[in-house]
Structures are given as C-alpha cells and as structure tokens.
Amino acid sequence: MKRYFERLTSMERRFVIGVLVVIFIVVNVLFVWPRFKDWNETKIRMRKAGDLQVLFEKEISQKEKYEREIAKLEKEGASVPPEDQVTELLRTINTQAAESGVNIIGNVGQPAPTNQFFLERAQSLSIDAGEPQLVDFLYKLGSGSSMIRVRDLTLRPDAPRFRLTGNIKLVASYQKKITARPTAGSTAPPAAPAAKPATSTKK
C-alpha cells in the first residue's frame, strides 16, 4: 500500500483519500450510527428485568407468611377450594336454593378480579322467595365450605307483599393451580401417530 501511494501524484492521493473518507462515512451512516440507540434500549430492558426480579423476590419472600395465613384459615374451617371446583359454584347454588325453597328466575355469570394466587367467580341471580327461605339460603351458603359470599343484594316486595324478589350477586374464591414451567433442556415426548382406521375389503 505504501509503494502504491508513492507512485501516485499528489492529486491522485487526495482523490483516493477522499474516496476512502466517503466510504468510511457511508459505512458509519448505514451500519454504525443506527445502532447507537440499541444500547439505550438494552439498558431499559435491563432495568425492567431488574425491577421484575425485585418484585418476584419480594413475593417469594412472602411465601411463609402466605402459608401461615392459609394454614390459619384452614384451621378455622375456611379452607379455600382448589381451582378445579369452579364448576361446582352454580351446582352448589342451585342445590341450596332447592333445599331452602328459593326460586331462581335467572342466573348470569359475572366477571370477577383475579390475582396470582386466587381467582374469583361471580354469579348474578334473580330470585323469588319468602323471607325465611331467603335467610336460610344465604346463611347456609355462607356457613358452608364453599366460600360463597354475597357481593351485592337488591330486594323488593312483590305486589301482594308476601314474598321478596330481587337480584343477588354471589362470589366464591378458589386457589389457582401452580403450573411448573418447563426447563430449557426439557423436551416434550413426541406424540404417538394416530391409528389408521381399519378398512374392510369385500370379495
């Protein structure tokens, strides 16, 4: 390269240096400068990951506290049923309504809040019942092991003023299932091939 420059005239050297400078600038503009913002984005992701780790570690440190509270509730007879009993909510309500003599005119599922440990299911009922029957219905729902409680209650007497009609929103809490995340090295077993249906040939 040195010998090559020595053979060039001063004008040719300026031209070659100018071309090299232009190439250097173009390469930086196309490939280097656009990547400057990546470092800021990386720092933002690192900060978010650090905040999330602190949040997770804080919740993990509360594990023993949560276990003690759950054990205390279970000793008091307030065991929170697992998530797979969610389908029993409406069945429990209908069964108790029939036993207490409460007529359910309509029922509609309602959205309810959920966190990382518990989920809630809500049911809105339109009822028609006598006062003693309604009191018996609500009392037995709340005193059982189903953890069903009244969230909203609106009642009014019927025209003859012998019975009560209205709307009741019932809510029940359930423990969420904790699913283990698969490790990076674990692989699911391959699915077995579907069996081919048997074919019959007529002769």
Q: To the nearest 10°, report the CA torsion of 103, 107, 111, 112.
A: 10
Q: Is-contact 162 130, C-beta < 8 A?
A: yes
**Does residue 183 have a pLDDT over 60?**
no
Contact in structure between 80 and 171 (CB atoms under 8 Å) = no
CA–CA separation, 134 and 127 (whole Å): 9
pLDDT of residue 149: 83
CATH number belonging to domain 80-175:
3.30.70.60
Question: pLDDT tens, 131-142?
Answer: 899 999 988 887
Least trusted range by pLDDT, from 133-137, 174-178, 182-186: 182-186
CA 95 and chain centroid, separation: 30
Q: Among 30-34, 65-69, 80-84, where is mean pLDDT lowest?
A: 80-84
Task: In whole angstroms, give the CA distance from residue 61 to residue 108.
Answer: 39
- What is this structure's pTM? 0.44
Burial annotation 20-54 (CB, 10 A radius, 16+ → b, else e):
eeeeeeeeeeeeeeeeeeeeeeeeeeeeeeeeeee
Let me know: does 152 contact 171? Beta carbons within 8 Å: no
How many angstroms separate the CA atoms of 46 and 63, rounded?
26
